[in-house]
Amino acid sequence: MIVWRRWIFPLLLVVVFGACAAALVKIAFFPDRAETIVSPDAGITDPIIAVERGSVINALTLTGNIARDETFGVRSELDGTVTAVHVSEGAAVSAGQKLFTVRQEYPRKDIDVLAPEAGDVSEIALVKGQMTSVGTETYKLTPARYHLLATVDPVQLYRLVNAPSEATITITGGPAPFACTGVRVQVSAEGTASVRCAIPKDQTVFAGLPATLDLALGQVDDALVVPVTAVQGGAGSGIVWVDAADGSEPEERTVTLGVNDGVIVEVTEGLAEGDSIREFVPGFVAPVEEFCYEVSPGVEQCDSGMSW
């Protein structure tokens, strides 16, 4: 009994505890795993679409504000002596209104200097008895003309190539929409872009009014169209990937592009109706959309997911 108590029982306990420890280590760090077999057919393939016919309307709506045209300096076209100043600083004048009278010596006669257009005069640089000469700036004029200046995302500039000269303006709380003329695109040295349009003189407007500018940039019907996501490039020319029916690598093909509405684009050369192309160019990352739903009364949960 003494041998059992001193040697055998302790050895058995050591063996039992060691087996338990080994089992726990195996469960924790070396779990049994069934071998996973990945089928070759389980790979992710790029979506394929067919080239179809459709209509494309390239219309762009921009937001901006009404502003008064810029002040400019007016230079003298006469040599002579000022005999009279008929306006004061800051005066509002009409087109053809008398501003100054200058006495010309050869031949000797008095000539009235008239306002070239309606506006406000400022920085008058002449007084009675003063000599004036050709090319000297005599005053500044802020014309009674207005324009709409709308900001534009630089990425939209290609859509504005060959933009029409007219657009439609809608003023918040103002008159019915009306046409404006002289549409032009401006890009500053800092890279900011804007579209400017002249307000007709018969429209009553005020500087600072918010407004929208609607531009009809082009429209085609019954044209070959593809999603812009399928084209590398968006103006003039681009590249698409034509799918091969035999499963080989897609063909990289150059195409000529037409009207683009930001979602679909017209293809004028390089593809035929029914051609199969990759819906997304290589490396395209679809935008992430957020989906929200109610999990309990008054509690919403939002999840992000790919839009395709």
What's this model's pTM, rounded to 2 decimal places? 0.66
| DSSP string of 85-117, one letter each residue | E---TT-EE-TT-EEEEEEETTTTEEEEEE-SS
| Among 90, 72, 45, 63, CA closest to 197 | 63
| Among 113, 111, 110, 83, CA closest to 98 | 113
Q: What is the pLDDT of residue 153?
A: 87
* Beta strand pairing call for 167-171 and 210-227: antiparallel
Q: What is the pLDDT of residue 113?
A: 95
Furthest-apart CA pair in the chain: how many Å? 150
Whole-number Cα distances in Å, 128 to 64, 84, 112, 149, 250? 44, 5, 13, 40, 82
pLDDT along the chain (308 residues), means of 10: 58 61 60 49 66 89 95 94 95 96 92 96 94 94 96 84 90 92 89 92 94 90 90 84 80 88 87 88 61 62 54
Cα–Cα distance for residue pair 280/256, rounded to 1 Å: 18
